[in-house]
Structure 1
Amino acid sequence: MTEPITPLSQPEREAAAERRSQLIAIGMILLTCLCFSILDATAKYLTTYSHLPPLQIVWMRFVSHLVIAFFLFRLWAHPEVFRTDRPWLQFVRGLTMLGTTSFNFLAVQHLQLAETMSIFFAGPIVVTALAGPLLGEWAGIRRWAAIFVGFIGVLIIVQPGSGAMHWAVIYSILSMLCYALYALMTRMLTATNSTIGMLVIPAVISSIAMTGPGLAVWVAPPDLFHWVLLLSTGVWGGLGHWIFIAAHRRAPAPLLAPFTYLQIIWMIGLGFLVFGDVPGSSTLIGASIVVASGLYILYREQVVKKR
């Protein structure tokens, strides 16, 4: 005879619901990584095959992002999302997001997607290094050791002083540094600013800031297909950020952060399928070191918080 199914207790049901929510959040993070990977691949395609200027693509990425957000969130009915108690910090945060995107699009014009992403993975390492002087969150000796190891990984990817180093890695490094500052300022603002405002305000600032440069270098896309690709940059960027925020509503950041490193898989796959790029051994080795050091930093942060 089949034994009767014992109903779950309230704590067991809550634990099961939390596990489901976490699994959904992990899936959303993987989808976020796919969106950002497609965004970078689209930007590289437009600069490589359509010969569109990177600054034009940056401008349209934020303009289309803003138009989508305007109708999706009905911003005309919710002007309060633009209120902030620290307007100058929001303004600088918007500029760092613009810098992240601009330098990255300039980099993918010359580098493989896997190369740019491998360097970008050093962002959490830089955040940890800067969190002490900017936020008072000082890293211990073990995390500083991981920062040093991660820096070695970046050097392996970049190979400074060798003939293999492409000058465009400077763009990737600048993009990564802008992202680190963007992440730190986001942490400083999340307690008092709305989620939608945090998503929309940088798009407004970037759209306005890039209107002049974007129009100055404007080149008309050759056909409807390339117009769709150009406008889709805002879709992939905005959708990626929206899913990222939704994922963090379902699960804590320390649980989700390690899965963002899986974006390298998307980038390698798209780089091979779309551009026929195969990452070199130095990129793979350096990326492995950077990822390992980043994961260790995340682990040590959790250990410190539990004390």
Structure 2
Amino acid sequence: MRPAMSAATKPASRRLFGILLMCLAVSTFAISDAMAKWLGAHINVFMVVWARYVVHFVIALVVFNPWTVPGLLSTRRPVLQVTRSALLFGCTILNFTALQFLQLDQTVSIMFSAPFFVALFAGPMLGEWVGARHWAAISAGFAGILLVAQPGAGGIHPAALLSLFSAGCYALYAILTRMLADTDKTPTTLFYTSLVGSVVASLPLPFAWETPQEPAVLVVLLLIGLVAGGGHMLLIIAHRHAPAAVLAPFLYVQIIGMIILGWALFHQVPSLWTLAGAAIVIASGVYLLLNERRERARETLEATLGD
């Protein structure tokens, strides 16, 4: 029997399909953020976050449940699972709140500072300390964030700090995801993500409930969970067809999607400062991704030669 192919050994056609799925996934994330911004003008943000998680949970329950996936709820690190899920919830509510005050292109540009936070946190949490070149890329990336935010120069709304905190939460979430990958199955981690998010989002509901007055609002509340959940499914399938190192640079397609949606739906044109800052953020992030890819390839080669 032929051994099963890993993502790294898939043929070129499979990798291209994985890249296509990745681009579709991040495009759906751009659409869900645009929906959140639109909904914020019609209903409170707690209702938006609640709808996003509950609908996502229902979808996850249909695809992954204890009957179709035996042992789904079994986790060797329950505290880590709950903490990771809570971090993603924090990321969501901070981002959705920031969207009410910032342009789509501004929020996504700041959110893409997450790889720099990952590089910063990976040292103390994973023992993966960065070198001088990494520090240079991280510094350049944060300089790009400053260009977007323009602090102290009559720049954008202070809600930019919410986007920055959201990026920090996402970075910690990403690191905990890597830590859980060695002990828990992917369906288990995905299920806990939607379950914990739904429970936490439901806690303030008795005080924050607001009945939608317009049919369009109700429809979009249902769609935001479907779109976000579908995006996560596309992301998972993409990683089955191509390695993460190949897919990672295409995350930045989301910035293009946000700029287009901001212009088409909200008549928001990005400023030159935002475009320049976003370009620096993308360049720095791609450098970190490519450098990590080279280091992993070198480690693999050294391990092979050692054998």
Answering whether residue 23 of structure 2 is matched by residue 30 of structure 1, we say yes
The answer to whether the 8 A contact 2:66-2:73 is kept is: no
- For 1:142, the equivalent position in structure 2 comes to 133
- For 1:101, the equivalent position in structure 2 comes to 92
- For 2:3, the equivalent position in structure 1 comes to none
CA distance in 2, matches of 1:246, 1:77: 18
CA distance in 2, matches of 1:242, 1:223: 30
Q: Counterpart of 1:35 in structure 2: which amino acid?
A: T
The answer to whether the 8 A contact 2:10-2:242 is kept is: no
Aligned-pair CA distance for 1:233? 1.4
Q: Counterpart of 1:23 in structure 2: which amino acid?
A: L
The answer to whether the 8 A contact 2:65-2:72 is kept is: no
CA distance in 2, matches of 1:199, 1:279: 34
> What are the ranges of 5 or more consecutive residues in structure 1 without an aligned counterpart?
1-14
Larger radius of gyration: 1
CA distance in 2, matches of 1:128, 1:69: 31
Aligned-pair CA distance for 1:234? 1.1
Aligned-pair CA distance for 1:160? 1.4
Aligned-pair CA distance for 1:163? 1.6
Aligned length: 291
The answer to whether the 8 A contact 2:23-2:253 is kept is: yes
Counterpart secondary structure, 2:204: helix
Answering whether residue 201 of structure 2 is matched by residue 210 of structure 1, we say yes
Aligned-pair CA distance for 1:25? 0.3
- For 2:34, the equivalent position in structure 1 comes to 41
Q: Counterpart of 2:165 in structure 1: which amino acid?
A: L
The answer to whether the 8 A contact 1:96-1:178 is kept is: yes
Residue-by-residue CA offset, 1:249-270 (whole Å, 9 max, x unaligned):
1111110000111111110111
Counterpart secondary structure, 2:196: helix
- For 1:240, the equivalent position in structure 2 comes to 231
The answer to whether the 8 A contact 2:64-2:191 is kept is: no
> What are the ranges of 5 or more consecutive residues in structure 2 without an aligned counterpart?
1-7, 299-307
Pairwise CA RMSD of aligned residues? Answer: 1.5
Residue-by-residue CA offset, 1:134-191 (whole Å, 9 max, x unaligned):
1011111111110011011111111112222311111101111110000000000012
Counterpart secondary structure, 1:175: helix
CA distance in 2, matches of 1:245, 1:17: 16
Answering whether residue 222 of structure 2 is matched by residue 228 of structure 1, we say no
The answer to whether the 8 A contact 1:69-1:75 is kept is: no
Residue-by-residue CA offset, 1:63-96 (whole Å, 9 max, x unaligned):
1100111112344443511211111111110110
- For 2:153, the equivalent position in structure 1 comes to 162
Counterpart secondary structure, 2:72: helix
